[in-house]
């Protein structure tokens, strides 16, 4: 016996329709978020040139094996209208000018190579007379000589009196060296440090290069122990740099991962962290920690009561002294909106936010090119920034209704949550504060490049020594100091004083920091 279908009431039909519409809306939201994520992944896969491609073009690239950058660039040259984009969308950075080769530095030595005229052209074709030299057509190119290794032989004088043998023999003192009784001279120890942490060349490659170029077998262990010894010697200097940093009124902070061998994680490297604290254009101090917890920055910045600038990571909250003022990073905010605009170039509001943030950066560029002092930059910001910031906040708030998990929704939420810290840089008394944290982020680039080559830190105990080396090298880079010259002068002094406790005329760590070293060399002669 067949059953009669149940007749639904109008209210039940309406409820089912509403439920179906709600499910459909949720599916559309989910599809939108997945499409955003897929587009962003494809842009990362094919490079910055893929930002100009439509979703259809990106999908076609997926069907072509081994797509090269040139193909992506050629696809990007298709007219915006052909890709469904609004013409003249102000999303992408202006094209960079082609570099023009300038003159080579005057301080480099010159080795001349004279190219003679061929024999047949030395005589005049008309009268047969010998031609006279009237000058040279000169061009310059940068050249290099292969690295030359040599053996440094140290001979200490021995003096004796022929008539007074009982007084014994006088011998010249042992010169200060980084590795006492080691096989590596100071110059090779310093070169190894610079190659590893400035040029990102791991020690096993350096050892292989020495064997190939000079036929000398130097073990990786020998190079490693010398580098770590230098790092150990510099820990006191870095402690003095930290004290100088905390005594100032402005610090930028950032952090990044470093792999380290540890018993905490069996069979794989432990993910440790380098926390970086610095002053734009000056001191950089790295602090090695085994984790990313608040304890690291809380301990480092415990006595600090000045201005701290960082990204929105929660570990930087509620640390430092009671008078600490926290500043945000506009570069992080711009990056989030820029990524959202790449995903949806038709979104006028999103593109407008990027342009408005760009106007804030234009002010900073003007101040930089005019070489304004901190007080003058503060005055410029006071005149121009309040109205621009207010309009920008209104623009961001109007976009806060986007899907919370979409790129635009995340960008709006991040900016509004950080707003008080973000606008603080334009307030009174903060002319020294930068608009963003890019100085700190740039200091992490060397670490990011290096860890791809170092593979790992060998132990937890090596972490602080590596951090000390990186602190000194990055500070030398910011101060435009020659790191080789600095290390060759400072490291032997530190090693000599370490092995001779109670030595008179000892230099303190504060006297050997890069900033003090520079000050003594630039101070006017009395």
Q: What is the pLDDT of residue 5?
A: 62
Q: Which of 42-51, 266-275, 332-341, 470-479 has the highest mean pLDDT?
A: 470-479
In the chain, pLDDT over 90 holds for what percent of residues?
40
CA dist., res. 484 & res. 507, Å (int):
20
- If one compares 457 and 360, the residue with the highest pLDDT of the two is 360
Residues 6+ apart with CB under 8 A from 203: 192, 196, 220, 223, 224, 227
Arithmetic mean of pLDDT, 393-406 = 80
Banded pLDDT at 382 (limits 50, 70, 90): very high
- How much is the mean pLDDT over the chain? 83
Q: What is the pLDDT of residue 82?
A: 43
CA dist., res. 467 & res. 72, Å (int):
40
Helix (H) / strand (E) element for 410: namely helix 407-417
Q: What is the pLDDT of residues 310-323, one digit of tens each?
A: 988 888 888 888 88
Cα within 13 Å of Cα(515), Cβ side: 17
DSSP symbols for 357-381:
HHHHHHHHHHHHHTT--HHHHHHHH
Q: What is the pLDDT of residue 63?
A: 54
Arithmetic mean of pLDDT, 463-476 = 94
Q: Model-level pTM greater than 0.85?
A: no
- Quick one: how far is CA 355 from the chain centroid? 25
Q: What is the pLDDT of residue 329?
A: 93
Arithmetic mean of pLDDT, 92-97 = 53
**Range of weakest confidence among 2-6, 137-141, 352-356:** 2-6
Residues 6+ apart with CB under 8 A from 466: 228, 231, 258, 288, 457
What does the block give as tokens for 247?
Answer: 């005594």
Q: What is the pLDDT of residue 487?
A: 96
Banded pLDDT at 466 (limits 50, 70, 90): very high
Arithmetic mean of pLDDT, 272-287 = 93
Closest CA to 224 of 457, 401, 434: 457
Helix (H) / strand (E) element for 517: namely helix 514-522
- If one compares 96 and 469, the residue with the highest pLDDT of the two is 469
| pLDDT above 50 (res 86) | no
Cα within 13 Å of Cα(307), Cβ side: 22
Q: What is the pLDDT of residue 74?
A: 57
Contact 233, 486 (CB under 8 A): no
| pLDDT above 90 (res 105) | no
Q: What is the pLDDT of residue 506?
A: 76
Arithmetic mean of pLDDT, 330-347 = 85
Q: What is the pLDDT of residue 97?
A: 61
Arithmetic mean of pLDDT, 212-225 = 89
Arithmetic mean of pLDDT, 494-503 = 79
Residues 6+ apart with CB under 8 A from 329: 309, 310, 311, 312, 422, 436, 437, 438
Check residue 299 and give left, alpha or beta (phi > 0: left; psi -120 to 50: alpha): alpha
Cα within 13 Å of Cα(410), Cβ side: 15
Banded pLDDT at 79 (limits 50, 70, 90): very low
Q: What is the pLDDT of residue 380?
A: 95
CA dist., res. 412 & res. 431, Å (int):
27
CA dist., res. 451 & res. 469, Å (int):
14
In the chain, pLDDT over 70 holds for what percent of residues?
82
Banded pLDDT at 48 (limits 50, 70, 90): low
Helix (H) / strand (E) element for 257: namely strand 250-260
| pLDDT above 60 (res 80) | no
For the range 381-387, what are the long-range contacts, defined as Cβ-Cβ under 8 Å and sequence gap of 24 or more?
A: 381/425, 381/426, 381/431, 382/426, 382/428, 385/360, 385/423, 385/426, 386/426
**Dihedral of CA 304/305/308/313: which sign?**
positive
Q: Give counts: helices (H), strands (E), the chain.
A: 17, 7
**Range of weakest confidence among 77-81, 203-207, 210-214, 268-272:** 77-81
CA distances from 109 to 102, 112, 121, 180 (A): 17, 10, 32, 34
Q: What is the pLDDT of residue 225?
A: 92
Check residue 256 and give left, alpha or beta (phi > 0: left; psi -120 to 50: alpha): beta
Q: What is the pLDDT of residues 120-129, one digit of tens each?
A: 889 988 888 8
Q: What is the pLDDT of residue 33?
A: 63
Q: What is the pLDDT of residues 505-524, one digit of tens each?
A: 678 889 999 999 999 888 77
Q: What is the pLDDT of residue 441?
A: 87
Arithmetic mean of pLDDT, 418-436 = 93
Q: What is the pLDDT of residue 465?
A: 93
3-state secondary structure (DSSP) of residue 108: coil
Arithmetic mean of pLDDT, 116-123 = 90
Q: What is the pLDDT of residue 145?
A: 78
CA distances from 41 to 44, 285, 416, 454 (A): 5, 34, 26, 27
| pLDDT above 60 (res 352) | yes
């Amino acid at each position: 016996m067949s059953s009669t279908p149940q007749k639904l009431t109008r209210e039940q039909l309406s409820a089912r329709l509403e439920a179906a519409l709600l499910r459909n809306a949720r599916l559309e939201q989910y599809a939108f978020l997945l499409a955003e994520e897929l587009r962003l992944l494809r842009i990362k896969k094919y490079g910055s040139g893929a930002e100009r491609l439509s979703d259809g073009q990106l999908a076609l690239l997926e069907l072509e094996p081994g797509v090269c950058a040139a193909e992506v660039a050629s696809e990007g040259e298709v007219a915006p209208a052909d890709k469904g984009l609004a013409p003249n969308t102000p999303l992408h950075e202006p094209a960079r000018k082609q570099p023009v080769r300038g003159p080579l530095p005057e301080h480099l030595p010159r080795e001349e190579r004279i190219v003679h005229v061929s024999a047949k052209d030395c005589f005049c074709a008309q009268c047969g007379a010998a031609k006279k030299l009237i000058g040279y057509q000169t061009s310059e190119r940068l050249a290099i000589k292969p690295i030359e290794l040599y053996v440094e032989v140290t001979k200490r004088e021995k003096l004796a009196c022929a008539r007074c043998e009982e007084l014994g023999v006088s011998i010249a003192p042992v010169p200060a060296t980084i590795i006492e009784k080691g096989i590596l001279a100071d110059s090779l120890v310093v070169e190894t440090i610079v190659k590893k942490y400035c040029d990102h060349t791991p020690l096993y490659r350096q050892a292989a290069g020495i064997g190939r170029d000079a036929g000398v077998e130097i073990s990786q262990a020998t190079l490693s122990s010398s580098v770590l010894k230098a790092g150990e010697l510099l820990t006191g200097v870095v402690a003095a740099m930290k004290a100088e940093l905390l005594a100032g009124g402005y610090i930028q902070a950032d952090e990044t991962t470093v792999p380290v061998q540890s018993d905490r994680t069996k069979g794989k490297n432990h993910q440790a962290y380098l926390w970086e604290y610095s002053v734009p254009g000056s001191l950089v101090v790295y602090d090695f920690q085994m984790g990313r917890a608040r304890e690291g920055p809380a301990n480092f910045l415990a006595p600090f009561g000045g201005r701290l600038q960082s990204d929105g990571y929660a570990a930087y909250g509620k640390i430092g002294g009671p008078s600490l003022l926290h500043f945000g990073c506009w570069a992080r905010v711009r990056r989030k909106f820029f990524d959202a605009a790449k995903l949806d170039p038709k979104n006028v509001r999103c593109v407008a936010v990027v342009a408005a943030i760009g106007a804030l950066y234009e002010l900073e560029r003007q101040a930089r090119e005019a070489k304004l002092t901190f007080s003058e930059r503060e005055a410029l910001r006071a005149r121009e920034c309040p109205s621009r910031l207010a309009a920008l906040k209104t623009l961001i708030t109007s976009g806060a209704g986007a899907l919370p998990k979409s790129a635009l929704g995340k960008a709006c939420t991040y900016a509004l949550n950080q707003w008080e810290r973000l606008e603080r840089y334009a307030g009174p008394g903060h002319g020294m504060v930068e608009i963003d944290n890019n100085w700190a982020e740039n200091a992490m680039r060397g670490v990011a490049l290096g860890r791809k080559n170092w593979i790992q830190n060998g132990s937890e105990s090596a972490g602080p020594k590596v951090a000390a080396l990186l602190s000194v090298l990055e500070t030398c880079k910011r101060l435009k100091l020659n790191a080789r010259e600095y290390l060759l002068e400072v490291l032997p002094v530190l090693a000599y004083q370490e092995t001779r406790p109670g030595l008179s005329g000892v230099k303190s760590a504060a006297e050997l920091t890069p900033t003090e070293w520079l000050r003594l060399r630039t101070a006017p002669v009395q």
